[in-house]
Amino acid sequence: MNYWRAVLLVAARDLKVELRSREQAVTLLFFALLVLVVFNFSFDFTVIDFVTLGSGVLWVAFIFSGVLAISRSFQLEREQDRIQGILLAPIDRSAFYLGKVAATVLFMAAVEAIVVPVSVVMFNFRFSGRIALVVLELVLNTVGFAAVGTLFAAMTTRTRRGELLLPLLLFPAAVPVALAAVKTTTHLLAGRPFERYASWVALSAAYDLIFLAASVLLFDYVLED
């Protein structure tokens, strides 16, 4: 089978299952919005500049809802041992990995597409008209987080207590992308010139490339018992 058709097939199936069940969409969105509400009540943003805390608030919401998305995505494969159905198929197993990454990126992007405008209103801030850079930064860091998260979720999915193991493995590995995401967002919120944070954007891009490439190459072994 054509490699990219297999990627699309896996991603489309995840989206279709989610559209039917709506389990993930509701959980992710409410979790992310709850984070915004809690931070809004915890800090007096008339005194504290949102630039100082804003990136942290946003990325706590995105990262933790991302963990939920990844965890749920592989729970779907664990139930009824569906992952075996995929492993039996005559496709390159890395196509399954990329399909899962694509679906997770879409779920996280949907949350971000709602959370960013809501937080603009809630915290009364602007990205100083740099929409293209904001989108680029969100895409790069979301892809990085989904890439590493999907890899570790696949690694732990066939182990006992995989759901407990996932955050233990994922959070240390995701530190570079989380750091780059928070730093870039802080600079974007402050309206600083691109040169000031270009290195963080480059880090995110390099992280994406390294993790996607390594995962595609190693995924067959990751799924070994």
Partner 1 sequence: MIAESGPAVPAIEATGLGKRYGPVVAVESLDLRVTPGESVALFGPNGAGKSTLLQLCATLIRPTAGRLCLFGTNASSSDASALRRRIGFLSHQTFLYEHLTGLENLLFYARLYALPDPVSAALESIRAARLEHRRDDRVGSYSRGMQQRLAIARALMHRPDLLLLDEPFTGLDRPSHARLEATLEEERGAGRTCILATHDLGQGLRAADRVLVLADGRLLLDRAARGLDQGFLEALMTANSASGRAAS
What is the contact mask toward partner 1 in residues 165 to 204, using x (rule: CB under 8 A)?
Answer: ----------------------------------------
The span from the CA of 41 to the CA of 54, in Å, is 14
Q: How far apart are CA 222 and CA 96, in angstroms?
A: 12
CB closer to partner 1, 82 vs 196: 82
Site string for partner 1, 4-43 (x = CB under 8 A): -xx--x---x--xx--xx----------------------
Q: How far apart are CA 57 and CA 32, in angstroms?
A: 10
CA distance 54 to 59: 9
CB contact at 8 A, 185 and 130: no
Q: Letter for the amino acid at 210?
A: I
Nearer to partner 1, 24 or 204 (CB): 24
Among 88, 131, 132, 175, contact with partner 1 (rule: CB under 8 A): 88
Q: How many other β-carbons are positioned within 10 Å of the β-carbon of residue 34?
A: 12
The distance of closest approach from Cβ of residue 19 to partner 1 in the complex, given in angstroms and rounded to an integer, is 9
Task: List residues binding partner 1 (CB under 8 A).
Answer: 1-2, 5-6, 9, 13, 16-17, 20-21, 76, 79-82, 84-93, 224-225
